[in-house]
Every structure is written in C-alpha cells, then in structure tokens.
Structure 1
Amino acid sequence: MVQQRHVFLSFLLLVPLLWSGTLFAATDEATALVQRTAERMIHLLEMRRAEIERNPALIYGLVESTVLPHFDFERITQGAVGQYWRQATADQQRQLVNGFKQVLIRTYARSLLSYSGQKINYLPSKPGNRPTMVTVATEVQDSGAVPIPVDYRMHKADSGWKVFDVVINNASLVGNYRTSFATTIRQSGIDGLIAQLTDMNRRGQE
C-alpha cells in the first residue's frame, strides 16, 4: 500500500546532447516543467487543505487544471493498449483514452490526499530514444525511507513537453497496464476493456 501511494503520488509530481547546446537547453526546460508542476500542485494542496478535507472531490479539479495539460493521455493509452490499439475503431480509441484518463486522475487524486511532505530530488536528465524525447529523473524521499526513483519519459509536442510514461523503481506505468489490458482484451475484446474502465470510474465515484 505504501509503495502504491508513492507510485501515484510520484505520477503527478510532476535527448541526446548536441554540441550546439540546443537540446541541452531543452532537457533543462523539461525538468523545469516537471518541477514547476510538482511545486504548484503541492502549493495548491497545502493552501486549500482544510477546504479539500471538507470536500475531497475538489482535488479532482485541481489535478485536471494543474497537471493534465502536461500529460499526453492519447499516447499513454496507446502504449498501454499496445498491439490492440490498431484494432480499435476511432470511437473505441476515444472511449479508451477518456476512460483510462479518468482512472488515472481518480487514482492519483485519492493518493494525493495522503501527501505529508515527501521531498522530491531532481537529478540530471537522461537522453531519450529520439532527439525530441527526454527522461526527467527524480527521487521521492520519505522520512526514514530509501529514496524511490521516478523517471518521467517526455516528448516534445507542438504545445510543449508532454509526459507519455512514468517509470517508478524501473517499473513502467504504461507497461504494467499493458499486461492487464491485454488479458482483458483477449478475454472480452476492446469493448470489454472499455466496460472495465467505465466500471472502475463508476466505482470510484461511489
């Protein structure tokens, strides 16, 4: 349970180097974005803590306005669905993205409520597989515990840097979901996965 809390807390807290220095500056930009987003989210949480304790549902709005713009949920969902993504119709793909996004939002938002001052250390960025990709490396430090490495895999979109995967203790968030999603699709098809996501979100509202 503690590990799961760190996984989703880290989830939100939120490039090869050329001699010209252009992409070096870009990696700094990606790291700065993760740090700004994390600090902004923590600031809002602390500032409105009493209000949120009275009405926990308020946390969803804060997450959506502060963090969601920096995540590429279509790419995250495509990676989690894996080889089955191309088998889905355009409407099914839309439903998968919307459903999975809400699952992640709700899971993170609930975990964020238990934030109690964990420290985030920002480490040197790592080059991605392409010039337009970078991995922002961080560690989440809880008092008296071993730091948990959290890497944000990001790509440069037209609207700026976007997170497309989060790796916690060398375990990919997208990869973990890909395994469970594949099992569901093999048993119940694409519509079965959509129904499962819908049910998860419905239960999350109860």
Structure 2
Amino acid sequence: MILAFGAIAFAGMASADEAPDALVKRISYEVLDTAKADKDIQGGNQKKVLELVEAKILPHIDFQKMTALAAGRYWREATPEQQKRLGEEFRSLLVYTYSGAISQVRDQKVEFKPLRSTPTDNEVEVRSQVIQPRGEPIQLNYRLEKQATGWKIYDVNVLGAWLVESYKSSFSTEISKNGVDGLIKVLSEKNKRLAAAAAKPAKAS
C-alpha cells in the first residue's frame, strides 16, 4: 500500500506552461488538504474517493505511456484492440490503487527537493519525500514528460522502486504464460474484486 501513496501528486488543473515541479507541488498540497478536510474521505467513503480520482487525478497521468512501458516488447506485439483493453484494465487498477492511498491520508506532509533540469528538457524527475508523524520519511519521486497540453506524470518511485518497473515484471510473467489476453483477464478479474469492495458501504466511525 505504501507504493500507492504516489497518488497524492496526481491531481489538479494544469496549464501548458506550468513548470513540472510547480505542478506536482500544487496538486500535492491540494489533494492532501482535500483529503484531510473531507470527513467522508476520512470515513472511507469509496464512492467519493473514486469521484475525486476520476475528476482530478486521471487527467494528469499518461496511462498509454505507462501501460506501454509496463508491457515492454509485448506492447508492440499486441493488436490495437489488445492495447486498448490492456490500457483500460491497467487504468482501472491504478484508479483503485490511488483511491486506497487517498483514503489513508491523515497527518502526512510533503517536502520537495530542488528540480534538476534545463528549460529544454522534455522529461524530468521531480523528487520529494513524505513526512509522517511516526517512522522514517518516504521517498517519493515522479517522472514527467512534456506534452502539447502540459506536463504528464508517467511513473512514480517510492522508496527506490519505480511503479512501471514493478508492474513490468508481473506483466511479463503473465504474458509469457498466457499471452496478452491472459494478462487482460487477470487484470479484469482483479478490478472486478476491487470494484465490489469499493461498492460496500463505509463502516460507521
């Protein structure tokens, strides 16, 4: 679940000329403040959390690039329909992952390190750490790519592990055994279980 904490930076309205570190800082603070102030989110209202994810997080993630990187060489071998379905299932999986992270936000704070980049860079890494009331800080870095509509996040690093690389191993294993359709089926079944869990009413606090 700690890997899912990268969700806190995936929100907000971006402008095409907004610097990548400014974007990540602003949206990180917005999501943290919203989660801390919303009693429904604090109480585990998954419907409201999912609405927040859909409205503010998803527009700033390049899901196609994430899926292509996670699938590796198998992405190029997949048919357009398989690529479409795989992207949709991977997107849904990440939505539930991010929702779980937002539900757990309490008293955390985020600190950012200076951005190492030049004005001509089209890809950058924004480095930060999550400060917790108890325990060591959590390293949390982001890879962003500059696109026509602004900067998009396509990978997250938590405690030294990149999210895309983590999925790449499991994706490769499943595809080598059961093909791309086999991976799509596995992700679909997992998403159905997560959807059923999210549909359950929140427990009274």
Give the TM-score range, shorter chain: 0.7 to 0.9
1:96 aligns to what?
Answer: 86
**More RCO (CA 8 Å, sep 6+):** 2
C-alpha displacement of 1:74: 0.3
- The answer to whether the 8 A contact 2:5-2:101 is kept is yes
C-alpha displacement of 1:54: 6.8
User: Partners in 2 of 1:89 and 1:49 — Cα distance?
Assistant: 45
Select 1:131's aligned residue among 121, 131, 146. Answer: 121
User: Partners in 1 of 2:49 and 2:167 — Cα distance?
Assistant: 24
Which stretch has the larger CA shift, 169-178 or 39-48? 39-48
SS of the residue aligned with 2:155?
A: strand
Runs of 4+ with deviation above 6 angstroms: none
Does residue 36 (structure 1) correspond to residue 32 (structure 2)? The answer is no
User: Partners in 2 of 1:36 and 1:117 — Cα distance?
Assistant: 18
- 1:41-190 equivalent positions in 2, closer than 5 A: 41-50=31-40, 53=43, 55-127=45-117, 131-190=121-180
Aligned length: 190
C-alpha displacement of 1:50: 3.0
Q: State the TM-score, normalized to the length of structure 2.
A: 0.85
How large is the RMSD of aligned CA atoms in angstroms? Answer: 2.1
SS of the residue aligned with 1:126?
A: coil
Does residue 6 (structure 1) correspond to residue 14 (structure 2)? The answer is no
Q: State the TM-score, normalized to the length of structure 1.
A: 0.85
SS of the residue aligned with 1:146?
A: coil
The runs of 5 or more residues in structure 2 that have no matched partner are 11-15, 197-205
User: Partners in 2 of 1:196 and 1:11 — Cα distance?
Assistant: 23
SS of the residue aligned with 2:145?
A: strand
The runs of 5 or more residues in structure 1 that have no matched partner are 15-25
User: Partners in 2 of 1:54 and 1:187 — Cα distance?
Assistant: 37
SS of the residue aligned with 2:46?
A: coil
2:182 aligns to what?
Answer: 192
